[in-house]
Amino acid sequence: MTKPIVVIVCPKEFRFTDTAATVETPFLTDVADLRTVWLDFNAPIPEEVLAAHAIILWHGPKLEAPILARMKQCRAIIRNGVGFDTVDIAAAAQAGIAVCNVPDYGTEEVADHAIALTLALYRQLFPLDAEAKRLGWKIETAAKMRRLSTQTFGILGLGRIGTAAALRAKAMGFRTIFFDPYVPSGTHKAIGVERVSSLEELLRRADTLSVHCPLTAETRGIIGAQEIALMKPGSYVVNTARGDIVQKAPVFAALRSGHLAGAGLDVVEAEPLRTAEEAATPNLIVTCHAAFCSPEGMIEMRSTSAKIARAAVLGEAVWNRVN
């Protein structure tokens, strides 16, 4: 009997070097024909993918309604990662396709990265490193270094990663607050942080805004010029969620004017940075959408995706469904 087809779809520009799919194979080899397809981001979706019974999708390409309608055998699309904005989840549901993600694989790594960016800003690590390497020892940035226990760490989005970041910030001595209209009442009591009632209150009170919400129609561009203007002079913005949640032009403008004392961005709108002028923005730390990275996290992510794909082709209930 012919086995169902599971296809790993990976963009060519993403350096996925495990051509043998050694992580996924043990979970799928006995129940499916496992294949890997490399695509240019905007390339047409080949028949091999359209015929799949389950798809494990790396970053891109976009799977929109016309494509999803042609996937007559597909039971599940599993996004290798947290975000699922490259899939039209409503159209997938209409086509009878479950869309799943892996929301917990990089929880520790992303929370750690958010705190690392925050500490680098507060303790002025990069300016101090540059001064020391110029053979200087004046500590020219001393006035910008702050005691953490005097500062308020504000979290936008208290999901898995936001909660992990909150607990880390609390342990570091920050006063920790959050805004998230979707978490149950009493969550703040369970983890011992303060809940605020509005985004405006969060922005006005936070010395550091740390973004941990998903990218949705509601959150796209939610932090723009008006929101940044509400923040305290000399405050910080940290984003380890999705670049399009925070509008980069007003952030960069606020860094140049001095309204923001710094920003730590693992993700940027329309990433990567596009110009030398953007890269030269003062008091800006940028990392390469790498907050999730660790060998352990990648294995966990890929294993989970493979397990969900296995359940899908066996006709069993899938989990982490977002549609």
* Catalytic position from the list 79, 188, 242, 310: 242
Do 264 and 288 touch, CB atoms closer than 8 A? Answer: no
Farthest-apart Cα atoms in the chain, separation:
74
Q: Which of 195, 256, 289, 321 is catalytic?
A: 289
Active-site residue (options: 64, 131, 201, 271): 271
Q: Does 242 participate in catalysis according to the annotation?
A: yes
The CA distance from 247 to 293, in Å, is 24
Q: Is 113 a catalytic residue?
A: no
Question: Quick check: is 289 catalytic?
Answer: yes
User: 13, 11, 241: which is closest to 106 by C-alpha?
Assistant: 241
Residues 55/9, Cβ–Cβ less than 8 Å: yes
**CB burial readout 226-263, b (16+ within 10 A) else e:** ebbeebbeebbbbbbbbbbbbbbebbbebbeeebbbbb
Catalytic residues: 242, 271, 289
